[in-house]
Amino acid sequence: MEITAQNVNVKIDGQQVLHDESVCAKPGRTLALVGPSGSGKTTLLNVLSLLRRVDGGTVLVGGQDATAWDDRRRRRFWQEHAAFVFQDYGLIDEESVAYNVALSKLPLFAQRAGRIAGVRDALERVGLDGRSAHKVSTLSGGEKQRVGLARAMFRSADVIFADEPTASLDRNNRSLVTNFLLEEAARGVAVIVATHDEVLMAACDQRLNLEGTDQGLAPP
């Protein structure tokens, strides 16, 4: 699913955070939003994922103008098409790891049982097999991040939004996240990632530098 921002402007507390930014994330490609701290990477990621509304410009989702979509329409997009790999994003601390991975995708009994093969596979891929019954509140920050990744694997989304997905991980787990994002792109997903991680940004095939020029390598 293609996600496009056209001349997007965002002001927060009177500060112009995004100024006429344009970018296009395509199915099967990885787009890295890069730039120094405070340059607006997370803000642009939130705009592209419809979590934040714009003060000017247009956001197109699959060719449709999504700029004025109401809450119901945006929720449908998140449920049907998107996966988020955000730190702590949407994890329910008091529920089990399996429940958090399968959230809203399985009948209740199956979520509770945590025995579904897809959940087990996803947890295995992120190195959390054996932890499925543990409460998320008992996990470390990096482990929680991997639960978010397992959830994204389980969802089979059309577009993945990832905010600093390798922060607070060790080298092995950084590679795991990077490989996952590349594999998802290889199967046709549009991957959009805000990152400071030079290895991850180098692995992406398009980069938007928010503090200057577009260094995109991919043709439009």
Ligand X SMILES: Nc1ncnc2c1ncn2[C@@H]1O[C@H](COP(=O)(O)OP(=O)(O)OP(=O)(O)O)[C@@H](O)[C@H]1O
Positions that interact with ligand X (CB under 6 A) = 12-13, 17, 35, 37-43, 194
Report the alpha-carbon distance of residue 207 to residue 78 in Å, rounded. Answer: 24
Report the alpha-carbon distance of residue 66 to residue 48 in Å, rounded. Answer: 10
Q: CA-CA distances (angstroms) from residue 147 to 16, 26, 31, 57?
A: 34, 26, 22, 34
The nearer residue to ligand X, 16 or 137, going by C-beta atoms, is 16
Could you tell me which of 184, 204, 187, 188 has the C-alpha nearest to residue 196?
204
Strand partners, 146: none
CB of 108: closest distance to ligand X in angstroms? 35
Q: What are phi and psi of 100, to 5 degrees?
A: -65, -35
The nearer residue to ligand X, 45 or 152, going by C-beta atoms, is 45
Per the CB < 8 A criterion, the answer to whether 1 and 78 are in contact is no
CB of 197: closest distance to ligand X in angstroms? 11
CB of 112: closest distance to ligand X in angstroms? 36
CB of 85: closest distance to ligand X in angstroms? 15
The nearer residue to ligand X, 38 or 90, going by C-beta atoms, is 38
DSSP codes joined into one string, 83-128:
EEE-TTTT--TTSBHHHHHHTTTS-HHHHHHT--HHHHHHHHHTT-
The nearer residue to ligand X, 46 or 67, going by C-beta atoms, is 46
The nearer residue to ligand X, 4 or 39, going by C-beta atoms, is 39
CB of 170: closest distance to ligand X in angstroms? 20
The nearer residue to ligand X, 17 or 61, going by C-beta atoms, is 17
Half-sphere exposure of residue 28: CA atoms within 13 angstroms, side-chain side:
3
Cβ neighbour number for residue 203 with a 10 Å cutoff: 18
CB of 18: closest distance to ligand X in angstroms? 8
